[in-house]
Structure 1
Amino acid sequence: MMSLSKTTSLMLASGLATLALLQPAMALDAETFVNRIETVYKVMGYDFSFGPATLDGDTITVDGGTLGIVGLGDEPMKFDTTLTFSGVAETEDGGFTADSLTIPDIDTDFSADPVGHLSLTDIRVENIVLPPEGVTGSAALMQTAGVVATGPLSVTRDGAEVISIDSMDMTSEFTHDAAGALESLVTTTSIAGLWADLSTVKDEEPDAGAMIEALGLTEINGDFNQTMTWSMGDGHLVLEESKLDLADAGAIDFKLDVLGFTPAILDKIYAMQGEGLEATSEEAQAKQMMVGMELLQALSISSASIRYDDASLAGKLLDVFAAQSGTDRAAFVEGLKATLPGIVAQSGIPALTDLVVPPVSAFLDDPQSLEISVKPPQPTSLLVLTAAASNPAGLISAIGLAVTANQ
Structure 2
Amino acid sequence: MIGTRTMARLLWAPSLLLLLPLGAAQAADLQRLGESLKAAASAQDMTLEWSDLTGNDASATLNNVVLRFESVDDPVEVGTVTLTDISEEADHFLIGEARLPDYNVTEEGVSVSASGISVNGLEVPFATSAEREAGLLLYDRAGLDSVSITQDGTQLFELSGLNVTLTKPESEDDPLEFSGTANSFSADLSKVEDVRTKAVLDQLGLQTISGDFNVAGSWNLQSGRLVVDQYDLKVENAGTLGITSDLSGYTPAFIKSLRETSEKMANAPEDQQSAQSLAMLGLMQQLSFNRASIRFEDEGLTRKILEMIASQQNTTADSLANQAKAIVPFALAQLNMPDFASSVSQAVNAFLDDPQNIEITAAPATGVPFAQIMATAMSTPQALIKQLGVSVTANE
Amino acid at match of 1:123: I
In the superposition, relative to structure 1, how do residues 218 and 356 fare at CA in structure 2: closer, same or farther (>3 Å)? same
1:230 to partner: Cα distance: 1.4
Is the 1:235–1:260 contact (alpha carbons within 8 Å) kept by the matching residues of 2?
yes
Q: 1:217 aligns with which of 206, 220, 223?
A: 206
Structure-1 separation of matches of 2:69 and 2:311: 48
Structure-2 separation of matches of 1:176 and 1:288: 38
Q: 2:326 aligns with which of 325, 338, 345?
A: 338
1:137 to partner: Cα distance: 3.5
Q: 2:239 aligns with which of 214, 232, 250?
A: 250
Is the 2:247–2:291 contact (alpha carbons within 8 Å) kept by the matching residues of 1?
yes
Aligned to 1:353: 341
1:147 to partner: Cα distance: 1.7
- Structure 1 gap segments, 5+ residues each: 1-27
Is the 2:297–2:357 contact (alpha carbons within 8 Å) kept by the matching residues of 1?
yes
Structure-1 separation of matches of 2:312 and 2:347: 25
1:249 to partner: Cα distance: 0.4
1:268 to partner: Cα distance: 1.5
Structure-2 separation of matches of 1:380 and 1:80: 44
Q: 2:82 aligns with which of 60, 81, 84?
A: 84
Aligned to 2:177: 186
Structure-1 separation of matches of 2:354 and 2:80: 55
Structure-2 separation of matches of 1:61 and 1:85: 6
Aligned to 2:63: 63
1:263-282 map, 5 Å: 263-272=252-261, 277-280=266-269, 282=271
Is the 1:256–1:304 contact (alpha carbons within 8 Å) kept by the matching residues of 2?
yes
Structure-2 separation of matches of 1:292 and 1:77: 34
TM-score, with normalisation over the residues of structure 1?
0.81
RMSD: 2.6
In the superposition, relative to structure 1, how do residues 56 and 275 fare at CA in structure 2: closer, same or farther (>3 Å)? farther
Aligned to 1:50: 50
- Structure 2 gap segments, 5+ residues each: 1-27
SS across alignment from 2:168: strand
Aligned to 2:4: none
SS across alignment from 1:317: helix
1:160-239 map, 5 Å: 160-177=154-171, 181=172, 183-201=174-192, 204-239=193-228
SS across alignment from 1:152: strand
1:285 to partner: Cα distance: 5.6
Aligned to 1:98: 95
In the superposition, relative to structure 1, how do residues 140 and 349 fare at CA in structure 2: closer, same or farther (>3 Å)? same
Structure-1 separation of matches of 2:142 and 2:267: 30
Q: 2:106 aligns with which of 99, 110, 113?
A: 110
Structure-1 separation of matches of 2:373 and 2:204: 39
Is the 1:240–1:256 contact (alpha carbons within 8 Å) kept by the matching residues of 2?
yes
Amino acid at match of 2:387: A
Q: 2:297 aligns with which of 309, 317, 342?
A: 309
Structure-1 separation of matches of 2:197 and 2:170: 50
Structure-2 separation of matches of 1:116 and 1:277: 30
Identity across aligned pairs (percent)?
Answer: 25
SS across alignment from 2:54: strand
Number of corresponding residues: 366
SS across alignment from 2:314: coil
In the superposition, relative to structure 1, how do residues 50 and 238 fare at CA in structure 2: closer, same or farther (>3 Å)? same
1:362 to partner: Cα distance: 2.7
Is the 1:43–1:270 contact (alpha carbons within 8 Å) kept by the matching residues of 2?
no
Amino acid at match of 2:317: R
Q: 1:384 aligns with which of 372, 377, 386?
A: 372
Structure-2 separation of matches of 1:186 and 1:373: 23
1:140 to partner: Cα distance: 6.7
Structure number with larger C-alpha Rg: 1
Is the 1:195–1:221 contact (alpha carbons within 8 Å) kept by the matching residues of 2?
yes
2:151 maps to 1:157 = yes
1:276 to partner: Cα distance: 7.7
Amino acid at match of 2:79: T
In the superposition, relative to structure 1, how do residues 341 and 278 fare at CA in structure 2: closer, same or farther (>3 Å)? farther
2:294 maps to 1:286 = no
Is the 2:126–2:132 contact (alpha carbons within 8 Å) kept by the matching residues of 1?
no
Structure-2 separation of matches of 1:147 and 1:399: 36
Structure-2 separation of matches of 1:48 and 1:289: 34
Is the 2:43–2:134 contact (alpha carbons within 8 Å) kept by the matching residues of 1?
no
Is the 1:85–1:98 contact (alpha carbons within 8 Å) kept by the matching residues of 2?
yes
